[in-house]
Chain A
C-alpha cells in the first residue's frame, strides 16, 4: 500500500479546505460588488490565487525530504522562529476551524435542523473531525479525493437540471462595472484561495514532496473554476439583483429544480453531500491545529491528548464565542483580513526567515554541516 499522498490526493485536500464554505459565501460576496461582471472577478481572483498558490507550493516544495514543516523551519531559521510560527499557525487553524463550524451550524439552523441544539450539532461534527484526524492526514486526503470525484458528478447534475432555466442574457452588459468593483468582487475569493497555505503542512506527507507546487496550483485553479461555475449558475438563474438578496444562493439554485411532479425538492440530497465536504474541511483544519501544536511543543506520543484537548476547546469556542448573524458583515471582513494575515503574511515572514537563515539554530545547523 502507498504510504504518501499523491498529487491528486493533495490537490483534493486543497479543494476541500476551501470549497465547502466558499460554496455558501462566494456568490453573494462577489455579486454584491461586481453584479453581472462577477465571473470576471472570479477569473481575476483565480489568476491572483494561482500566483499565491505557486509561491506557497514552491515554499513547501523546498522541504523536499519529507521532514515536518516546523522541524524543517527550525533547522533553517532557528527554534524561536519555528516556535512562534507554529503557535501562530496553530491559532489560525484552530480559529478558522471554529469559524467554519459556526458557518456550518448557522446554515443547518436556518435550512435543515432549526430546533436541534447547537451543542449537539457542534459536538457531533467535532467528534467526527477528531475521528478523522485520529486516522491521519493520508486517510483524510484520500476521502477528499473520493469526494472530489463525486463533486464532478454533482456539478454536472446541476448543469443538466438547471440548464433550461438559465438565461445567458443575465450576463450582459459585460464590463459595465468599474475595475474597482471587479477588484472588490475578487477580494473574497482570493482570501479563500489563500487557504491553500495548508500545503506547507501536508507537503511532507506526499510521496514526492517536491511535487507540492503542482498539487497546490492545480488545486487552486480547480477551486477558481468551481467558484466561477457557481457564480455563473447563480447569475444565470437568478440574475444579479436576486442573488444579492439571498444568503445562500448556491442552495437556492437547487431548491428551484422541479420537473413536473416527479423530480422536486432534491436540495436535501445536495445538502447531505455538502455536509460531508464540510466534515472534511473541519477535519483538515483540526489536523492543522493539532499538527502545529504537536510539532511546536515537540510532543512525543501525546497526540491523542492534544486531539481531545483541542476538540473540547473547539466545541466550547464554536458554542460560545461567535457573534449573532446580524454582525456577519463585520465578521466577513475580519475573516478575510485574518486569512490574508495567516495564510500569506505569516508564511511570507517564515519564508523570509528561512531564506535569510535567521536564528542561532540555523547557524548551529550550518556549523554542523560544515
Chain B
C-alpha cells in the first residue's frame, strides 16, 4: 500500500507530460510569412518563408560583412485546396511547418479575384494558424514577395509586418488588416473590405545575401495602393491619396501628413502639416427616401514645413494656413469617397450605420445597396486647428525677404 502513491505519482508524470503533442524546436520549420497564388493549372500555390535559425545570427553578422547564408528559405507547394497544398509540404520538408509565428499572408491579385473565402475559412478553422496575421495583396506573384530580402530587418516577413505598423502609426493611409478583421469587414452589412498592397519596386529582385552587401539595393519591398474587395473578391484599387481619404472616413487616421498650397489659387503644395489627431463621425441622414452621408472631421496638427511668405505670429496667417489644410483634407476625402462610389464598394461602413439607424429602410435598400451607395451625396464638414508651428515663428522665406529689403 505504501508503494501505491509513489507509483501513481510516477505514472502521472508519464501521462501528464503530454508526450503526444510535444514540439521540439529542431523538428519545426518556423514560418514567418505565407503567400497564396492561383496558378494556370487552376490550383492553389502556397509558399512559405521559413526561417533558418542558425543563419539569422550569421545574417546579422553579414550586415557587418560576415556570413552569407540567407536567413530564410522559400518553397512552394500546390494543391486543389489551401490546406491540401500545405499538406504537400510533408513530401519535401524534413520539418513540420509551424505557423504560430507567421506574421503576414500575401495573396496574389489573381487569387484575390477568385475570392478570399477559402483562405479565411482555413485560418479561422485551424488552431495552428493565427487570426492575427496581416493580410496583403500583390499584383505580382505572391511567392516573389516572399523571396525578396529586406534591408535592416533580417526576416522579411517580420519586416513587412513592421513596415505596415510603422505606416499605420505615422501616415495611416493603409490599414493593417488581420484575418479576423477581414472576416469582420466581409461579414458586415456591405460585405466589402480593404487590404493593403505590397509590391517590389525596382529590378532585379534581391534574393541572395551577396546583394545585401551593397549600400543601395536595386529593388525593395514597399507598400502600394489599397485593394478593394467586394463579396470577398478583388474588385479594384485606390491610390494612396484616395486611401487616405477613405481612412479619414473610416476614422482610422492615427497620424498623417497633409501638404497644402499657400493660397487657394496657387497649384503648388508648399506647406506640410502633421495631423496628430483626427476624429471622424459619419452619420447617414434620411430625407424622404433619399440618403445623405453626413461626415464631420475634427483634426489638429503641427506645422512641419512651409515655403509660404507668412509671419506665423499673426493670427491671420495661421487662419490662412488652417484654411488651406482644411481644404486639402476635403479634397482628399472627397476623392477617396468618389473612388469608392465608382467601384460601388462601400468600404467606409455606411451600410452598417444605415442598418443601425434605419433598420426598416436598410431591409428595403439592402438588395441593391452597391448601386444605391454610388448615388449617396457626401455632406462634409472639416475643422482643422494648427496647435503648434514648430521651433520658428516666421517662415524662412518671409524672414529672408525682410533681410533683403
Q: Report A's interface with B, CB cutoff 8 A.
A: 110-117, 120, 123-124, 127, 169, 172-173, 176, 238-239, 241-242, 245-246, 252, 255-256, 258, 264-265
- The answer to whether B183 has its CB under 8 Å from any CB of chain A is yes
Cβ-defined partner of B356 (8 Å) among A117, A169, A241: A169
Contacts known (A169-B352, A172-B356, A256-B180); A241 close to B187, Cβ less than 8 A: yes
Residues of B within 8 A of A172 (CB): 356-357
- The answer to whether B20 has its CB under 8 Å from any CB of chain A is yes
- The answer to whether B100 has its CB under 8 Å from any CB of chain A is yes
- The answer to whether B130 has its CB under 8 Å from any CB of chain A is yes
Closest chain-A Cβ to B183's Cβ sits at a distance in Å of 6
B184–A113 touching, CB < 8 Å: no
Residues of A within 8 A of B127 (CB): 110-112, 114
A258–B132 touching, CB < 8 Å: yes
Complex CA–CA separation, A255 to B124 (angstroms): 11
As a 0/1 sequence over residues 115 to 134 of chain B, the CB contacts with chain A under 8 angstroms (1 = contact) are 00000000010010011100
A124–B355 touching, CB < 8 Å: no
- The answer to whether B1 has its CB under 8 Å from any CB of chain A is no
Find the A residue at minimum CB distance from B178: A256
Task: Count residues of chain B with CB under 8 A from any CB of chain A.
Answer: 24
A238–B184 touching, CB < 8 Å: yes
Chief secondary structure at chain B's binding surface:
helix
A239–B188 touching, CB < 8 Å: yes
Closest chain-A Cβ to B234's Cβ sits at a distance in Å of 21
Complex CA–CA separation, A127 to B180 (angstroms): 38
- The answer to whether B18 has its CB under 8 Å from any CB of chain A is yes
Residues of A within 8 A of B353 (CB): 169
Residues of A within 8 A of B12 (CB): 124, 127
A238–B356 touching, CB < 8 Å: no
A-B contact pairs, 28 of them (CB 8 A): A111-B127, A112-B21, A114-B21, A114-B127, A115-B20, A115-B21, A117-B20, A120-B15, A124-B15, A127-B12, A169-B352, A169-B356, A172-B356, A172-B357, A173-B357, A173-B359, A239-B187, A245-B124, A245-B183, A245-B187, A246-B124, A252-B131, A252-B180, A255-B131, A256-B132, A258-B132, A265-B100, A265-B130
- The answer to whether B16 has its CB under 8 Å from any CB of chain A is yes
Residues of A within 8 A of B18 (CB): 113, 116
Complex CA–CA separation, A113 to B20 (angstroms): 8
Complex CA–CA separation, A176 to B15 (angstroms): 51
B359–A176 touching, CB < 8 Å: yes
Find the A residue at minimum CB distance from B187: A241
Closest chain-A Cβ to B94's Cβ sits at a distance in Å of 19
Residues of A within 8 A of B352 (CB): 169
A264–B15 touching, CB < 8 Å: no
As a 0/1 sequence over residues 1 to 27 of chain B, the CB contacts with chain A under 8 angstroms (1 = contact) are 000000000001001101011000000
As a 0/1 sequence over residues 348 to 383 of chain B, the CB contacts with chain A under 8 angstroms (1 = contact) are 000011011101000000000000000000000000
Complex CA–CA separation, A239 to B189 (angstroms): 11
Residues of B within 8 A of A264 (CB): 132
B184–A239 touching, CB < 8 Å: yes
Residues of B within 8 A of A123 (CB): 15
Closest chain-B Cβ to A305's Cβ sits at a distance in Å of 16
Closest chain-A Cβ to B243's Cβ sits at a distance in Å of 22
B184–A242 touching, CB < 8 Å: yes
Closest chain-A Cβ to B154's Cβ sits at a distance in Å of 15
As a 0/1 sequence over residues 237 to 261 of chain B, the CB contacts with chain A under 8 angstroms (1 = contact) are 0000000000000000000000000
Complex CA–CA separation, A252 to B131 (angstroms): 9
Closest chain-A Cβ to B77's Cβ sits at a distance in Å of 21
Contacts known (A115-B20, A245-B124); A238 close to B188, Cβ less than 8 A: no
Complex CA–CA separation, A95 to B12 (angstroms): 26
With A176-B359, A252-B180, A256-B131 given, can you name 19 additional A-B contacts, CB distance below 8 Å? A111-B127, A114-B127, A116-B18, A116-B21, A117-B20, A123-B15, A124-B12, A124-B15, A124-B16, A169-B353, A173-B359, A238-B184, A239-B184, A239-B188, A241-B187, A241-B188, A242-B184, A256-B132, A256-B178
Find the A residue at minimum CB distance from B100: A265
Complex CA–CA separation, A246 to B357 (angstroms): 27
Cβ-defined partner of A116 (8 Å) among B20, B131, B132, B187: B20
Closest chain-A Cβ to B282's Cβ sits at a distance in Å of 11
Closest chain-B Cβ to A124's Cβ sits at a distance in Å of 6
Residues of B within 8 A of A265 (CB): 100, 130
A173–B355 touching, CB < 8 Å: yes
B183–A242 touching, CB < 8 Å: yes
Closest chain-B Cβ to A235's Cβ sits at a distance in Å of 12
Complex CA–CA separation, A149 to B178 (angstroms): 34
Complex CA–CA separation, A110 to B129 (angstroms): 12
Find the A residue at minimum CB distance from B126: A110
Find the B residue at minimum CB distance from A247: B125
Closest chain-A Cβ to B168's Cβ sits at a distance in Å of 12
Interface set, chain B 18-69, CB cutoff 8 A to A? 18, 20-21
Interface set, chain B 246-279, CB cutoff 8 A to A? none
As a 0/1 sequence over residues 175 to 196 of chain B, the CB contacts with chain A under 8 angstroms (1 = contact) are 0001010011001100000000
Complex CA–CA separation, A169 to B357 (angstroms): 10
Complex CA–CA separation, A256 to B359 (angstroms): 30
Find the B residue at minimum CB distance from A116: B20
Closest chain-A Cβ to B245's Cβ sits at a distance in Å of 22
B20–A173 touching, CB < 8 Å: no
Complex CA–CA separation, A173 to B363 (angstroms): 12
Closest chain-A Cβ to B118's Cβ sits at a distance in Å of 14
A113–B21 touching, CB < 8 Å: yes
Closest chain-A Cβ to B160's Cβ sits at a distance in Å of 14
Residues of B within 8 A of A117 (CB): 20
Find the A residue at minimum CB distance from B127: A111
B180–A242 touching, CB < 8 Å: yes
Complex CA–CA separation, A209 to B355 (angstroms): 52
Complex CA–CA separation, A286 to B184 (angstroms): 41
A242–B21 touching, CB < 8 Å: no
Complex CA–CA separation, A241 to B189 (angstroms): 9
Residues of A within 8 A of B15 (CB): 120, 123-124
Complex CA–CA separation, A241 to B132 (angstroms): 18
Residues of B within 8 A of A124 (CB): 12, 15-16
Residues of B within 8 A of A241 (CB): 187-188
Residues of A within 8 A of B100 (CB): 265
